[in-house]
Amino acid sequence: MAAAEGEGPARRAVDAAEAWAESHLILLSASFESFTETGEWARIEGLQHRFEVEGRLLDVGRLAWRMPPPLGLVEQGHVVLLCRALLHVPAASTLLEDWFRTVKHAYDCWIGDPNCELISHEVVELLDGDVDRARRVSRLLLREGWMFSSGTGGAEGYWTRELRSDIRVARDARNARELLDARLRYEDAEAPAALPLTEMDEDPVPPPAPPGEPTGSQDTAAHQGRLHRLWRYVSNNPLLATFLGTLGVAAVLALLAGGRKLAEAIDHGSAPAARGKLERAAEDGARTFSVPGSLAREGPPVRAGERVRVLCRVYAPNPPSVVPDGNWYRISSSPWNGRYFAAANSFWNGDVPGQLPYTHNTDQSVQKCH
């Protein structure tokens, strides 16, 4: 599908995602079927077995991991679909109508009171007292979550969510597709507004190469940048500068020439290796990006089960897969070195693998970034 001239990055990404959805409707339909029958999105292993029994030659895991983010994600081995994917599944039309009806109700509530909260029992009442319908809608609402801020509880029980002003995109929408497209236009209008990265260096040092893929030019440039920052660190520290001054110019030059380890300690922190809190990546690993909330400038991934140190967390509720919490961790371990962020819900956050239910999308003991 060709993108029209002038369309923003979010619109272009969705156009490509919708083309993918039409080509892989069998996967989307099968996962939704599981959702309606059990209340859970289908597991990759279960789908693979089913298709094998049916004689369908489909590599479910490979397809699921390649599913474009506007459609859904793989979470704890399940193929989780978002509303954009459900637009392509005919059987999901009733669920999307219920979802749209609930969002419009939330908008009316917010118009009447900017401090309004949406509460789970209101969804049940809105859907004629049907608890199962309300539970499925709650799963979609809290997953899409861009219209919410703080709240309590989860989709399986009693929950509340404060409404954000983003709910205003529902103003003129007449159905689920129009609502999602209105949200898309809002995202494109706001797109390049990146959160400032505090404590970032001014030197144009290229991002680190993924583990196992170093390049000579990147390594040299990074080393030069570290030496420059080391000199700047020494110059701006009066006590250290006075002390080094007594050693003479030759000693300083020797330090700069052979001080790579010290430079790395200041820049990335062999000392900083002890900074932050250890978090373990979940079974799907974690993708990293240089700006939280923006899928631009992707960095090295955190492997499944790998433990890394995180300095702090940032609230950036985009894309939908990071909600309801909407938090990102700033990773201090090498090779990320404080320059890359990963979605907090990509980590175990204190949950124990295999011990259901998983309840921690964020480790609240991780401090907020300043």
Written as one string, the DSSP assignment of 179-209 is HHHHHHHHHHHHTT-PPP-TT--SS-PPPPP
Per-residue pLDDT of 265-300, as tens digits, reads 434 333 334 478 999 998 888 999 888 887 777 888
pLDDT score for 238? 52
Distance CA(33)–CA(4), nearest Å, equals 34
pLDDT < 70: residue spans in the chain: 1-7, 190-274
Question: Is the CB of residue 120 less than 8 Å from the CB of residue 135?
Answer: no
Question: Is the CB of residue 308 less than 8 Å from the CB of residue 279?
Answer: yes
Residue 118 to residues 32, 140, 148, 320, 326, Cα–Cα distance (Å): 25, 14, 9, 18, 18
pLDDT score for 269? 38
The backbone torsions φ and ψ at residue 71, rounded to the nearest 5 degrees and listed phi first, read -95, -35
Rounded to two decimals, the pTM is 0.55
Q: Considering only CA atoms, which of 344, 219, 307, 319 is closest in space to residue 14?
A: 319
Question: Is the CB of residue 63 less than 8 Å from the CB of residue 27?
Answer: yes
Question: Is the CB of residue 361 less than 8 Å from the CB of residue 344?
Answer: yes
Provide the pairing of β-strand 307-315 with 277-280. Answer: antiparallel
Q: Considering only CA atoms, which of 261, 248, 252, 328 is closest in space to residue 290?
A: 328
